[in-house]
Amino acid sequence: MLQNLTSITPHWLWYPHNGQWRPAAAILREQLASYQEQLQQRQPTLLILAEPDPLSFLGGFLAALSTGTPLLLANPQWQSQEWQQVAALLPQNFMAWGTVPPLDPQGSREPLPQGWILIPTGGTQGRLRWAIHTVATLQAAVMGLQSHLQQGAIHCLSILPLYHVSGLMPVVRSLWTGGELYLASHLRDLRQTAPPANCNLWLSLVPRQLQQVLTEPLLWLGKLRGIFIGGGPTWSQLLEAAAAQQLPLCLSYGMTETAGMICVQRQGEFLTGDRSCGQVLPHAQIDLTPTGEIQIQAASLALGYYPQCFQSTIFLTDDRAQWRGDRLYILGRTSRKIISGGENIYPEELEALLLDSGLVQDIYIYGAPDPLWGEQVIALYVGDLSPEELSTWLKQQCSAYKCPKQWIAVPQIPRTPQGKVRSSSIMKTL
């Protein structure tokens, strides 16, 4: 499979330009050859890829896979706090492509094994973690979905960030099954350039994007092969609006650690009234603890979080669910994690930053239901600064998507003697 990366077919990749889809495989092949040469000459211990341009990202990604160069995917929009976490992981002789600031390795990390692909995800207390994947784990996810859908070639339409597992998987699904990839950077690209009607395309969306296309409909969406929905809670009103517009949704469940979906509906099931996450894919196994937490075993499961590998092949999540027959229904989470616009946000990370800064005396950050983002980040704080001042400071420390949409100054935050927030008293405070 790696040998085939240098023989990308002329019809694999399409990119929007001036209102039309143009073949981009030839441009990518040229970039790929240049990137491969650079990696072979330098032989870095790690490549950091933070390319905002999709074609440049694909060139770097495929060059790393074809040469076996260990790869760390990064968000081009990260700020100082995130890049400091990257620096703590770096071995000597690393390379960086894209919008990467100067980084000095902090310590003496051993070189990474060949073929490791580190995909970022939120972690304990909100600190970034990198799920360790390989071609084998990504391939298992592709083959499992292909078998579940009973499809040969999987043709994909992608607008999600490529450094994110939800944006990366359509790339490898289409490439490794002989499909075509229609790659756009933003939803607005699809408003200007509709995909060909006869391509049987699969599109992946997070709930925020589904809300946007329901508000400003794209008439051709109903003609797609299917629309995978994941990346956060999807509320019933949104789903019923999608059903009213006859959108071919396929609700799913998965995460970075499992290389995307491990449970998904087949085409047509949503429009018959099914509101589950579908059935488990053949490469995975899901079990529930006595209290309902999801446990996963899968051929697509990451090896661990860099630099440590998992000690068990069973992965315990913070998601709660129940079975109804052979279909999985997600009930909620056991942690404070907020999922807004498909991104994981951990309140503890933001609270620690603000408390350490001395800009607030106390703070509590939580998520509230939001019709556009799924959940909205809200901050209650005790302090003298204005919401604008706090927001400006925090956006210099971490990615903007993590920052609260609402800042509410309060005289005090109700806490127990042990320091825990009295959630039942929060509404009274407001």
User: pLDDT exceeding 70 applies to what percent of the chain?
Assistant: 93
Choices 3.30.300.30, 3.30.200.20, 3.30.70.580, 3.40.50.720: CATH for 338-429: 3.30.300.30
**Phi, psi (deg, nearest 5) at residue 10:** -60, -25
**What does the pLDDT read at residue 20?**
92
Looking from the CA of 384 toward its CB, the CA atoms found within 13 Å total 1
pLDDT band (50, 70, 90) for residue 7: low
Give the closest residue to 69 by CA, choosing from 13, 115, 7, 2. Answer: 115
pLDDT of residue 4 exceeding 90: no
Q: Which residue has the higher pLDDT, 252 or 231?
A: 252
Give the mean pLDDT of 304-325. 94
Query: What contacts 371, CB < 8 A, 6 or more positions away?
Result: 211, 235, 237, 238
Tens digits of residue pLDDT in 60-105: 999 999 999 999 999 998 988 899 999 999 999 999 999 999 998 8
Give the closest residue to 229 by CA, choosing from 256, 212, 211, 249. Answer: 249
Q: What is the pTM of this model?
A: 0.82
Q: Alpha-carbon distance 347 to 378, whole Å?
A: 10
pLDDT of residue 331 exceeding 50: yes
Tens digits of residue pLDDT in 10-54: 899 999 988 899 999 999 999 999 999 999 999 999 999 999 999
Give the closest residue to 347 by CA, choosing from 291, 292, 270, 413. Answer: 413
Tens digits of residue pLDDT in 221-230: 999 999 999 8
pLDDT of residue 155 exceeding 70: yes
Q: Alpha-carbon distance 309 to 396, whole Å?
A: 32
Q: Alpha-carbon distance 48 to 86, whole Å?
A: 9
Under 8 Å between Cβ of 260 and 313:
no
Q: What is the CATH number of domain 135-333?
A: 3.40.50.12780
Mean pLDDT in the chain? 90
Domain ranges in the chain are 2-115, 135-333, 338-429
Query: Can the peptide bond before residue 307 be classed as cis, meaning omega within 30 degrees of 0?
Result: yes
pLDDT band (50, 70, 90) for residue 3: very low
Both tokens of 62, joined, read: 């495929």
Report the amino acid identity of residue 289.
T
Tens digits of residue pLDDT in 157-203: 999 999 999 999 999 999 999 999 999 988 889 999 999 887 899 99
Q: Alpha-carbon distance 255 to 262, whole Å?
A: 8
Left, alpha or beta for 417 (phi > 0: left; psi -120 to 50: alpha)?
alpha
